[in-house]
Amino acid sequence: MKKLFIALLTLLPMAAFAAGNAVHLDEANYDLRDKASLQNGAKIFMNYCSTCHSTQYQRYSRVADDLGIDRDVMSENLVFTGVKVGSLMLTAMPAESGAKWFGATPPDLTLEARLRGADWVYTYLRSFYIDETRPFGVNNLVFPSVGMPHVLEELQGTARLLEIKHNEEELDLPEGARIVKETAVVDANGVATGEILTSYLSPDGNGELSAEEFDEAMLDLVNFLVYSAEPNQLERQEMGFWVIGFLLILLVFTWFLNREYWRDIH
């Protein structure tokens, strides 16, 4: 027990270090009841993600039915592999080709939102920046040294990771910039100078969407991925309310029955 306690104390500084260097995750306020958002998310996924990534536990027909998309419309506009609408949503890219081009096989994304969380996915999609040292010329703040290109560059444009040192009251960032980290500046003696070093992503504005529009589009994509991870989530939650209601009613009858059993004893 003593050795375990010492080991935990040893790990605490490491955990603090990791937390201190972690990128802040922006909240993804998705809404699974928003069919328009889900439909747009499915459109973005099929047009920009499905070339490399599959959602192998989903079927085109199930997605069409759940999202209120006509199956013929789904087949004609969102099925690019030539398969039937009842087929699983598999990528046409062979796994060995993906491993050769990207250094690793692109993962299946069906359960990605459950694995990493909606906030992680939302922040990741919006955190690519120019890095000429990387094979595809981009890097990612949430997933450093990521092996994929910025496939959404057409929509977002490119962004640069910049830093600015300023006083707390003096911060003037370009339009569309997003702060990703703020650090207090200290002198050689470790004393705070009162200045702040702010790291931010600055878009160049050459994408099809504005910064606000791109954020909204990524929220739609996250919404679709959250749905894909658990298509029956809304039904499960609704059923949960009915089950709790039934148990509450059952509790009342159980209480009266228990009182009846013990009436003669008391």
- Tokens 């560059």: give the residue: 153
pLDDT at residue 169, as a whole number: 73
% of the chain with per-residue pLDDT over 70:
91
Tens of pLDDT, residue by residue over 145-157, are 999 999 999 999 9
Lowest mean pLDDT among 36-45, 229-238, 246-255: 229-238
pLDDT at residue 266, as a whole number: 59
Q: Is residue 48 part of a domain?
A: no
89-120 CB burial, b ≥16 within 10 A, e <16: bebebeeeebeebbeebbebbbbbbeebebbb
Which residue has better confidence, 69 or 11? 69
The annotation status of 52 as a binding-site residue, yes or no, is: yes
Report d(CA 184, CA 203) in Å as an integer: 24
Report d(CA 227, CA 253) in Å as an integer: 38
Q: Is residue 54 part of a domain?
A: no
pLDDT at residue 128, as a whole number: 96
Q: Is residue 264 part of a domain?
A: no
The annotation status of 49 as a binding-site residue, yes or no, is: yes
pLDDT at residue 14, as a whole number: 40
The annotation status of 166 as a binding-site residue, yes or no, is: no
Q: Is residue 192 part of a domain?
A: yes
Q: Is residue 183 part of a domain?
A: yes
Q: Is residue 13 part of a domain?
A: no
Domain count, the chain: 1
Give the residue numbers spanning the domain of 192: 159-203
Q: Is residue 70 part of a domain?
A: no
| pLDDT band with cut points at 50, 70 and 90 for residue 5 | very low
> Is the pLDDT confidence value at 256 over 90?
no
Which of the 8 DSSP states describes residue 26?
P
Q: Is residue 36 part of a domain?
A: no
Tens of pLDDT, residue by residue over 33-85, are 999 999 999 999 999 999 999 999 999 999 999 999 999 999 999 999 889 99
> Is the pLDDT confidence value at 17 over 50?
no
pLDDT at residue 15, as a whole number: 42
**Mean pLDDT for the chain overall:** 87
Q: Are 257 and 249 in contact (CB under 8 A)?
A: no
Mean pLDDT for 92-102 is: 88
DSSP 159-214: EEEEEEEEETT-----TT-EEEEEEEEE-TTS-EEEEEEEEEEEE-S-SSS-HHHH
Tens of pLDDT, residue by residue over 183-199, are 888 888 888 888 888 88
Q: Give the predicted TM-score (pTM) of the model.
A: 0.80
| pLDDT band with cut points at 50, 70 and 90 for residue 22 | low
